[in-house]
Amino acid sequence: MALCRLFLYVVTLLLVAIPAGASQSLEIGQGAVKLKHFPVEYFVDGSQSLDYESVRLEPFETTTSTATLGNRAPVAWYRISLQNTSASDQSLFLHLPKAYHVRSIDIIEERSASLVNNLSIDLNNAEAHPTIYKGTLVYPFVLPGGQSTVLYVRSHAYSHQWFSLGIYDEEHSRHELVGSHLDIALMVGMMLALVFYNSLLYFATSKKENIFYSLYLISGLVWIALSYGLVAKAFSAYGDAIFMLNLSIISMPIFLLLFMMAIFETREYYRTENRVLQAMLVPLIVAFVYGLFDITAVLKFSDNLAALVMLVTFSVSLSLLRKGHPLVKFFLVGHTFFLIFNGIAVMYYKGMVTPNYINSHGVGIGIILEALTLAFIISYRIKLLEDIRSKQDELKRQASTDPLTRLYNRRHFMAEGEYLLAKAKESGESLSVIALDIDHFKLVNDTHGHNVGDLVLVEVASTFRKLSRDRDLVARFGGEEFLILLPGADLDEAFGCAERIRAAVESLAIAASENVVVRVTVSLGVVQVNPTLETLEDAVNRTDQLLYEAKAAGRNRVSGFYN
């Protein structure tokens, strides 16, 4: 019996002295200490209420210093065993670089099965805490020479439990703290530039897809800056209020769906796909509103919601591709990248894959790649619209111009002329009309042929264009007759313009062939319009009468009359 009591006593001492399931200690000697990747142990506290004394006796499992436990471990304990193999004390620093995304952290320092120090931090009140530096918790401790120390870290996360631990000496600790988030800053900077660009596009085009895309970008950059520590590093902001910004992970797909509906015009042309996208909006909006009251609960099923959004958007995109939408192939490229990297990230958050840069930054990488593709789609759509507008403008130009001389035709002259007449009547500005006719043009056609006649028309029209102002309306009215409407010109100014045109045409030498030069003259009639008393047609008729008077008086002259 005495032997039994002695055996039980020894076993009890061992259970108290040695934590259950303890792993082999990390040996630290005299050299530099820079530990980023090393084995640690973890225990998930499902009750969320166990204290240090209870937890130290629980069975711990082995993982690495950079790992994720998913969304089913809101409270987890991590244990690191350290052995100082040198005779001198070591001053070290435990880093938790992702402390910014948890509710609270407790650190317990144990030596020889006894508590020697502890630290408890509520991230809601951590802005001025001496151990928190721009989102990183830095816990200083001393490792006595030749002794072992066990560190317990209790992490109370909001939703997903992912963590990273590092152990450094003083020099390397400083280096880690001054390390920058250049990659995250670059992501955010690119997205801010795209937001600014699309805001300008919205003011220029009033297209709602630019607004939806900008809001999608803003949601994405907020989530990236928050999740990857840029908010904490730049503003030293943590806790419940900042954690609410994680709602951007819900608003982002909302604006993506709205963007798809706008850019693909599903409401007008693809009713089935539009109804599917609208149906997907409902749970997202419900989740967003619910998240205003309980963001933690929403984030626990956000992974599943994200997977559903991916499935719906990809299915709709394939449907639109089969129906021949010209833009959806580009969307599918960017969205495929988004799906791949988000799928990797979802597995990382659920603790299904080994942590590395790609896995932990999957959402950010996916957002950036898709954002760039969506920017290309917007630019490409603008190009398509510009091409369509250009073709429409070309058709309008063809409908309003004479194909031979490239001057306006009669229909355009009368329509635009009525507008200029109304404008002159309103402003009191002068307005004049010149009618021109090529003298003996039928003789040119009969003598040299219609090809030469066309050449004469082109050369004479070019002269009219050169000697008129940009604001003047020059038109071929029919055959060899032309009209010029001169806004802001009274009779004297119009008469002077007509005389310059007459002299210029008279001096023209039009080469019909190597040995044949054709010369022509024009007769012109000029009137100043009275906008309050006559229509444009009345003014044109008066100008024609003066033109015939010029021809009857011997041609190659200007006849003018003021009403």
Report the phi/psi class of residue 304: left, alpha or beta, with left for phi > 0 and alpha for psi in -120 to 50. Answer: alpha
Q: How far, in Å, CA of 149 to CA of 116, rounded?
A: 10
Q: What are phi and psi of 475, to 5 degrees?
A: -140, 150
Q: What is the 3-state secondary structure (H, E, C) of 317-382?
A: HHHHHHCCCCCHHHHHHHHHHHHHHHHHHHHHHCCCCCCCHHHHCHHHHHHHHHHHHHHHHHHHHH
Q: Which residue has the tokens 């902001």?
A: 237
- Distances in Å between the Cα of 109 and the Cα atoms of 46, 52, 66, 82, 249 are 23, 10, 20, 11, 37
- Distances in Å between the Cα of 468 and the Cα atoms of 75, 172, 332, 420, 478 are 84, 79, 54, 16, 19
- Distances in Å between the Cα of 52 and the Cα atoms of 12, 43, 83, 95, 150 are 18, 12, 21, 20, 12
Residue type, 307: A
Q: How far, in Å, CA of 511 to CA of 458, rounded?
A: 12
Task: Give the length of the chain.
Answer: 563
The yes-or-no answer on residue 418 being catalytic is: no
Q: How far, in Å, CA of 338 to CA of 343, rounded?
A: 8
Q: Which of 53, 459, 480, 499 is catalytic?
A: 480
Of 331, 309, 245, 316, nearest to 275 (Cα)? 316
The alpha carbon dihedral of 32, 35, 38, 44 has a sign of positive
Q: How far, in Å, CA of 263 to CA of 281, rounded?
A: 16
Q: How far, in Å, CA of 113 to CA of 358, rounded?
A: 40
- DSSP string across 87-114: SS-EEEEEEETTGGGEEEEEEEEEETTE
Catalytically active residues, by annotation: 480
